[in-house]
Homo-oligomer: A and B are copies of this chain.
């Protein structure tokens, strides 16, 4: 058996993701990727069937990472407290930490990047992108529903509302970040949402 090429494939995906964050997927040409990775066409088409395959592989890898992060957040939050509301607040806190310490979320969100050129992707990639959101909605939505069985919000809102608001707060931070440059805006946005939830349920 010959040598291992998985490192090269990961390198291509890394370089692609960085470029996608900067200029979107369509403008991320293979030449740009290969220049950044210091590789050639031969290397690329050995690991990927096409540019579409690259888009698919990238979002698939991203989905795995996000799922792991989400699981980690839930697990850590459940170790802190048994109260579902406090668990959500803790999860937001962990997210803020991740962003402020230069974690993966401080670099951007591939779901958001893809969302702004959805029509360019095939049905499979679109489905995968949406699945990312769905996963977060299910997990966070569950926590909010349990929280609302226990506590009454001061203003009538649904668990689904809160869940979408949380995702929107994060993604909105990403947009401002892309425009302004400082990832701290992302955590600021999450802090605001945490404040909102705190006030809404009179927590803390």
A residues adjacent to B (C-beta < 8 A): 22-24, 26-27, 111-113, 115-120, 129-130, 133, 154-155, 157, 161-162, 164-165, 167-176, 178-180, 185, 188-189, 192-193, 195-196, 198-200
| B179 A118 Cβ-Cβ under 8 A | yes
Q: Bound state CA distance, A172 and B130, in angstroms?
A: 15
Q: List the 8 closest pairs (A to B, CB-CB), nearest first.
A: A172-B172, A168-B172, A24-B117, A171-B175, A199-B199, A26-B27, A23-B119, A165-B192
Nearest to A117 among chain B residues (CB) is B24
Nearest to A156 among chain B residues (CB) is B195
Nearest to A29 among chain B residues (CB) is B26
| B26 A23 Cβ-Cβ under 8 A | yes
Known: A24-B116, A116-B178. A167 touches B157 (CB 8 A): no
| A168 B179 Cβ-Cβ under 8 A | no
- Find chain B residues with CB under 8 A from A174 CB: 172, 175
Known: A155-B198, A180-B130, A199-B154. A189 touches B172 (CB 8 A): yes
